[in-house]
Amino acid sequence: MKAETPRDLALKALNRLTRSPAFSSSVLDRLFRANRDLDDRDRAFVSHLVQGVLRWRLRLDWIIGQAAHFPLRKIEPPVLDILRLALYQVFFLDRVPESAAVNEAVNQAKAGYPGHIASFVNGLLRTICRHKENVAYPNRGSDPIRYLSVYYSYPVWLVEKWMSELGADKAEALLEAGNQTPPLVVRVNHLKSGRSALVKRLAEEGLEVRPTSYSPLGVVVEGLRGKVDQLRAFKEGLFQVQDEAAQIASFFLSPLPGSTVLDLCAGFGGKTSHLSEMMNNQGRVVALDTNRDKLVSLAANAKRLGIQIIHPAVADATSDVSALFRSRFDRVLVDAPCSGLGVLSRHPDGKWTRDKEGIKGLALLQAAVLHRAAGVLKKGGRMLYVTCTISREENEGVVERFLKDHPAMVLENMKEEAPSWAAELIDEEGFLRTFPPLHRMDGFFAALFTKPSRSTVS
- pLDDT tens for 400-435 read 999 999 999 999 999 998 999 999 999 999 999 999
Mean pLDDT for 262-274 is: 96
Q: Exposed, middle or buried: residue 28 (CB in 10 Å: 0-12, 13-18, 19+)?
A: buried
In the structure, what pLDDT confidence band is assigned to residue 396 with cuts at 50, 70 and 90? very high
Least confident among 22-26, 151-155, 274-278: 22-26
Is the pLDDT score of 458 beyond 70?
Answer: no
Are residue 255 and residue 151 in the same domain, yes or no?
no
The pLDDT mean for the chain works out to: 94
> 46 to each of 84, 121, 169, 177, 183, how far by Cα in Å?
14, 21, 34, 22, 18
Residue 285, H or E segment: strand 284-289
Amino acid 456: pLDDT: 47
Residues 75 and 171 in one domain: no
Mean pLDDT over 379-402 rounds to: 97
* 240 pLDDT more than 90: yes
**Which residues span the domain enclosing 66?**
6-134
Is 199 contained in some domain?
no
Is 203 contained in some domain? no
pLDDT on residue 212: 97
Mean pLDDT across 212-231: 93
Say yes or no: 157 and 82 in one domain: no
Distance CA 205, CA 235 (A): 13
Neighbours of 1 (CB within 10 A): 3
Contact 43, 32 (CB under 8 A): yes
E strand or H helix that includes residue 312: strand 310-314
Is 70 exceeded by the pLDDT of residue 457? Answer: no
Strand ranges across the sheet with 218-222: 208-211, 218-222, 184-188, 239-241
For the chain, give the percent of residues with pLDDT over 90: 90
pLDDT at 352 over 50: yes
Enzyme catalytic residues:
388
Q: What is the mean pLDDT of residues 201-224?
A: 95
pLDDT value at 455 more than 70: no
CA dihedral 447, 452, 457, 458 (to 10 degrees): 160
> Domain ends where: 81, 100, 134?
134
CATH number at residue 72: 1.10.940.10
- Looking at the fold, whether 340 and 272 belong to one and the same domain comes out as yes
pLDDT in the model for residue 326: 87
The predicted pLDDT at position 2 comes to: 64
Whether residue 42 lies inside any domain: the answer is: yes
- Mean pLDDT is lowest, of 52-61, 192-201, 320-329, 359-368, for 320-329
Higher pLDDT, 455 or 169: 169
Domain count, the chain: 3
Among candidate residues 126, 160, 177, the one where a domain is terminated: 177
186 and 239 Cβ atoms separated by less than 8 Å: yes
Lowest-pLDDT range of 18-22, 137-141, 333-337: 18-22
pTM of this prediction exceeds 0.95: no
Contact 449, 411 (CB under 8 A): yes
- Return all residues near 225 (Cβ < 8 A) that are at least 6 apart: 40, 41, 44
152 and 74, same domain (yes or no)? no
